[in-house]
Copies of this chain bind each other. A is one copy, B any other.
Amino acid sequence: MTFTDRPPRVIIIGGGFAGIAAAQALKGSGARILLLDSQNHHCFQPLLYQVATAALAGPDVAWPIRYVMRGRPDVTVLMLAVEGIDTARKTVKTRVVDIAYDFLIIATGAAHSYFGHDDWARLAPGLKSIDDATLIRSRLLAAFEQAEASVDPLARARLLTFVIVGGGPTGVELAGAISELARRTLPPEFHRVDPARARILLLEAGPRLLSAFPERLSTYARRALERMGVEVRTEAAVAEVRPAGAVAAGEEIPAGVVLWAAGVRASPAANWLGVAGDDAGRIPVGPELTVAGFPDVYVVGDLAHVTGPDGVSVPALAASAKQMGWYAGRAIRRRLRGERPRKPFRYRDHGNLATIGRKSAIVKLGRLELTGFVGWLFWSVVHVYFLVNLRSRLFVAISWIAAYFTFHRGARLITR
């Protein structure tokens, strides 16, 4: 392949952590880059649970992709859904036009999996986008409002029961934040029901919460949640989600809101390539993050199934997505100069964090483990640091400092 007559064309599908990192790694490469996404914004998913629980506004944690790519005349951003890929003709098919590429980076991420029960999605929303977060916020706040306006004690008890399915980081963070909303923020403002008496149940099918963390930290998180009044149930797989509750471990739990933080399923990009995905729909890639048979197609982020040299799968995290995106961008850059990538992709584990609530988080950094207030401070600083611009850093920091002292949550809007 030579590019003497025209700039090489790179298409990146997806403006999440992986896609943005790929575009950044291609800066100065001489390639003409097209970044496609069906949304107009990049979303900082690790803080979405704070939008869902009314602590932050959507615009605090999401920015237009073209704003993130400002100052990059080599990157064209289009809000366009991809409809398919023609690997033979090397084109990406969109609603508007087919677009040719020399290199393709697919970074379309993952959505929630309801284990074959897609009808549960409506009843128990998951948390992957700003729209999801706004919907969850409205449902949580509406449950408290309906309980306050209800004259039926049974309905009130149901409305003030919140079930979170899945004990990973998102489930733990949601449970902690809902507990604070119910026990700290709302009580002074309600007269007819006591939000502090809300039941918050965190259901995990496996034997412990946060299975990606060491057992000591899982135990810490469970105790911290229980001190906050969250009922944690392990070995409690959900058998059914209904309009007015859930069934788990043989028990029917009437609930006002059910939230889904359990399975994850990759986007349908495997179909576009005509390759077999793994059981979560992820596309297996080789050590250079390309797809077998398509050396010019890179798959990165939550969509990629990467097995490290140690045989361990790379976890689906913001950090790994960024590393993969960056690796793919750099690999293409080297190939444009006629070189091969220096080394296969290797995930560098910089640590893993999860927050449980105000003043409490768990942090695993190599051999260092932090918990409690120190963990929470570390978590806060890291998350503010990674936000895209000064405005967001300022607004998020002010919101957190205010919430720390007053328990105030500044975004308690019920919207359609």
Chain A interface size band reads: 35 or more
Q: Confirm or deny: A57 has a beta carbon within 8 angstroms of a beta carbon on chain B.
A: yes
Q: Is the CB of A58 within 8 A of B190?
A: no
Query: With A and B bound together, what is the CA distance between A76 and B189 in angstroms?
Result: 9
A415 pairs with B57, CB closer than 8 A: no
Is A62 an interface position by the 8 A CB rule?
yes
Q: Mark A81-107, 1 if CB is under 8 A from B, else 0.
A: 000000000000000110000000000
Contact of A78 among B149, B399, B412 (CB under 8 A): B149
Closest B residue to A64 by CB, please name it. Answer: B412
Chain B residues with Cβ below 8 Å from A336 are none
Q: Which residue of B lies closest to A149 (CB)?
A: B78
A150 touching B96 in the complex, CB below 8 Å, given contacts A67-B189, A413-B130: yes
Once bound together, how far apart are the Cα atoms of A78 and B40, in whole Å? 36
A66 touches B96 (CB 8 A): no
**For A78, what are the chain B residues with a Cβ–Cβ distance below 8 Å?**
145, 148-149
Q: How far is the CB of A55 from chain B (nearest CB, A)?
A: 10
Does A79 belong to the interface (CB within 8 Å)? yes
B97–A151 touching, CB < 8 Å: yes
**Is A394's CB within 8 Å of the partner chain B?**
yes
B59→A415 contact, CB < 8 A: no
Q: Mark A372-416, 1 if CB is under 8 A from B, else 0.
A: 000000000000000000011011001100100000101111111
What is the 8 Å Cβ interface bit string for chain A, positions 41-72, against chain B (1 contact, 0 not)?
A: 10000000000000001111011101101110
User: Closest residue to A190 on the B side, CB-wise?
Assistant: B66
**Residue A311 interfacial (CB < 8 Å):** no
CA distance A342 to B394 in the complex (A): 50
Instruction: Tell me the bound Cα distance from A388 to B80 in angstroms.
Output: 39
B412 and A41 within 8 A (CB): yes
Q: Which of B58, B131, B141, B412 is close to A57, meaning CB atoms less than 8 Å apart?
A: B58
Interfacial chain B residues near A394, Cβ < 8 Å: 398
Q: Does A267 contact B (CB under 8 A)?
A: no
A113 at the interface (CB under 8 A from B): no
Nearest residue (CB) in B for A189 is B66
Cβ of A415 and Cβ of B134 under 8 Å apart? Answer: yes
Instruction: Verify A191–B411 contact, CB threshold 8 A.
Output: no
By beta carbon, the residue of chain B nearest A73 is B191
Contacting residues, chain B, for A399 (C-beta < 8 A) = 391
Distance to closest chain B CB from A324 (angstroms): 26
Q: How far is the CB of A72 from chain B (nearest CB, A)?
A: 10
For residue A218, CB closer than 8 A to chain B, the reply is no
Contact of A391 among B40, B410, B415 (CB under 8 A): B410
What residues of B have a CB within 8 angstroms of the CB of A410 in the complex? 59, 391-392
- In chain A, positions 120-174 with a C-beta closer than 8 Å to chain B are 130-131, 134, 141-142, 145-146, 148-151
Q: Is the CB of B64 within 8 A of A189?
A: yes
Contacts of A416 in B (CB 8 A): 131
- A412, B192: Cβ atoms closer than 8 Å: no
Beta-carbon contact of B59 and A411 below 8 Å: yes
**A408 nearest CB neighbor, chain B only:** B391
Q: Are A131 and B415 in contact (CB under 8 A)?
A: yes
CB A213 to nearest CB in B, in angstroms, measures 32
A39 within 8 A of B: yes
Is A293's CB within 8 Å of the partner chain B?
Answer: no
Confirm or deny: A338 has a beta carbon within 8 angstroms of a beta carbon on chain B.
no
Of B62, B66, B391, which is within 8 A of A402 by CB?
A: B391
Q: Decide if A274 is an interface residue (CB 8 Å cutoff).
A: no
Complex CA distance for A206 and B188, rounded to whole angstroms: 50
Tell whether, in the assembled complex, residue B141 and residue A40 are in contact, meaning their CB atoms are under 8 Å apart: yes
Q: Which residue of chain B is the closest to A191 with respect to CB atoms?
A: B76
Shortest CB–CB separation between residue A87 and chain B, in angstroms? Answer: 23
Inter-chain CA distance A412–B402, complex, in Å, is 25
- Inter-chain contact A60/B58, CB cutoff 8 Å: no
A-B pairs with beta carbons under 8 Å apart, 5 shown: A40-B145, A41-B413, A79-B146, A79-B149, A392-B410
Q: Which are the 4 A-B pairs with shortest beta-carbon distances?
A: A59-B411, A57-B57, A79-B145, A66-B189
